[in-house]
Amino acid sequence: MQLNLPTWLTLFRLVLVPLLVLLLMMPFFPGQNILSTAIFGLALATDWLDGWLARRWGQTSGFGAFLDPVADKLIVCAVLVLLVYRDPHIVVALPATLIIGREIAVSALREWMAEIGQRGLVAVGAAGKYKTSIQMIAILVMLYALPTQGRLYGFGVTLLAIAAVLTVWSMVMYLRAAWPLLRGGGPGGGGPP
């Protein structure tokens, strides 16, 4: 397997995860919020760039296609857990739990659908794209405003709640599309036909 620039960018994004975890686990220090926001923003930029380069240069690969969503979900889930750690209130914990739970459920659903040759039924839709955009903005705002937890932070929490609603909505859409196959059983299923 030969690694190309898009795959290296994805691997770089994975390296940013423990860096963000260490940074957010440390006691607050001046500029910590700016640094954590910048690192998360860099991860977002590399996510966009690796996909764009892979398509533009024709350097898509099975390894890259596997690794990219892993890196995306890992950094988002890690940061959400740490935001809950830093601000253990229901208004942060509930949306974070819904988002992480949805990521696990939809990933499992996509894997199962791929096993039975029906992955196209659960391809990323508009609700999922809106959810991701709002979720990323929410996380950036919350990271930046975390030390003060003032109005700007409250705006980020509101965006996170909106992302959680869209998360549930998009998961329902995916499950609805897959329901006839889920109801009928299949690999690992077991339901009656």
The confidence band for 193, taking pLDDT boundaries of 50, 70 and 90, is very low
| Mean pLDDT on 97-105 | 93
Between residues 72 and 110, which one has the greater pLDDT?
72
- Which residue from 40, 56, 70 is spatially nearest to 6, judged by alpha carbons? 56
Q: How confident is the model at residue 97 (pLDDT cuts 50, 70, 90)?
A: very high
Residue 176 near residue 113 (C-beta atoms within 8 A): no
pLDDT at position 69: 86
The predicted structure's pLDDT at residue 123: 65
Kindly state the tokens that stand for 164: 């959680």
Residue 152's pLDDT is 97
CA 139 to chain centroid? 11
pLDDT > 90? residue 100: yes
